Amino acid sequence: MKRLVKFICALMCIITLIPLIISCGDDSYTKLSFKSTLSYDYLKTLNGKRVTINGYIATSSPVDGSFIFLMNMPYQSCPFCVPNTTELSNTIEVYPKSGKKLSYTASAVKVTGTLMVAPSVDKFFTDRYGYQFNFKIVDAEYAILSSEEMGENFAIWESFSQSGVIDEIYRMYDYVDFVCKWNEYYYDNRTDSNGNYIKGFYFNASDAKSYINEGALKYAKDPEYFNNLVKKVEAIDKDAFSQLVENIRQAESLAAKALNKLNNGEYSQGELQYIEKFDRMDYIYTINGGDELKSELNQVYEGFENWLGSWEL
């Protein structure tokens, strides 16, 4: 009798565990952070596996619900990109299950789906807007996060997002990118208001100086430009954003170094050559130490990406 009772008890335990085991198998997933998505090698180990991540839906996500841009910051309308590229940064494209749609919500969400990773780090997926990315989440759905599920720094992060400072920081990076790589910028082929077709051309040093002093980047001419940006950040929380302030100061130093090269004539004109893009003969300038500037720019921007990705819900 005792053996029979033990057997029945053991059998009941096994029967009880079976649904739990099945449930764990169905619901098992890896929790991603935005910072972890910066590592292609890490993502590759999860290719085809079920993942989850918390974030916010950008308001510029397609209205047809075919996919969403997921970000770790609220109140952001547009996806982030590496400056002067179409390469997504700190933004994840999320695609719904077949036949489903993902509608917009201003609330924080928990996304669950399957991770799809590009075959190599330099091969990108491209969406209908031309954005490039080397991973995405597919067969996905989301649930609204409760206040209890938010991180302890949620209030600070929300204040930062509401301040609009992040948009100013991206404008700052537009400026730093330009002064480090002005010789790679160009005016594209265009048609003027009178219907005349005008061939494009690469920037020369004079064009670059005009763009900075009189054109789209003249906002950075103020000698207090970087100091004022730092003040806005520190006004939110000096301690919480000390790493961001350090990054801004690094960008400031790099911009000054690159601007000195431009103003001191540390560049060469190069030889006259045919430019297929514009169907014309043109000069392409070379900045002395330009590769070093671009390398430093990448390092500074990667520092910003790491900081931005470290904020999680």
* Per-residue pLDDT reduced to its tens digit, 10-41: 434 433 443 333 334 445 899 999 989 989 99
Profile the chain (313 residues) by mean pLDDT over runs of 10 residues. Answer: 40 39 56 91 96 92 94 78 78 94 93 96 89 94 86 80 89 96 94 92 95 95 96 94 96 98 96 92 94 96 89 77
CA-CA distance, 114 to 152, in Å (whole number)? 28
CA-CA distance, 208 to 253, in Å (whole number)? 19
Is the same domain home to 175 and 188? yes
CA-CA distance, 57 to 87, in Å (whole number)? 18
CA-CA distance, 127 to 144, in Å (whole number)? 26
Is the same domain home to 112 and 211? no
CA-CA distance, 134 to 88, in Å (whole number)? 9
Is the same domain home to 185 and 278? yes
Number of domains in the chain: 2
At 163 the three-state DSSP class reads: helix
State the CB neighbour count (10 A cutoff) for residue 238: 11
Is the same domain home to 187 and 293? yes
pLDDT at position 311: 83
Which pLDDT tens digit goes with each residue over 250-299? 999 999 999 999 999 999 998 899 999 999 998 899 999 999 999 999 99
Range of the domain at 125: 30-149
CA-CA distance, 286 to 269, in Å (whole number)? 6
CA-CA distance, 144 to 37, in Å (whole number)? 22
Is the same domain home to 165 and 258? yes
User: Which run of H or E residues covers position 256?
Assistant: helix 242-263
Is the same domain home to 99 and 202? no
Tell me the CATH number at 131. 2.40.50.870
Residue 72 and residue 313 in contact, taking contact as beta carbons nearer than 8 Å: yes
Is the same domain home to 129 and 197? no
Is the same domain home to 180 and 292? yes
Q: Is residue 162 part of a domain?
A: yes
Is the same domain home to 76 and 139? yes
At 31 the three-state DSSP class reads: strand
Could you say which of 149, 171, 195 is where a domain stops?
Answer: 149
Is the same domain home to 81 and 214? no
Could you say which of 88, 118, 149 is where a domain stops?
Answer: 149
Is the same domain home to 97 and 193? no
Q: Is residue 193 part of a domain?
A: yes
| pTM over 0.85, yes/no | no
Could you say which of 87, 115, 149 is where a domain stops?
Answer: 149
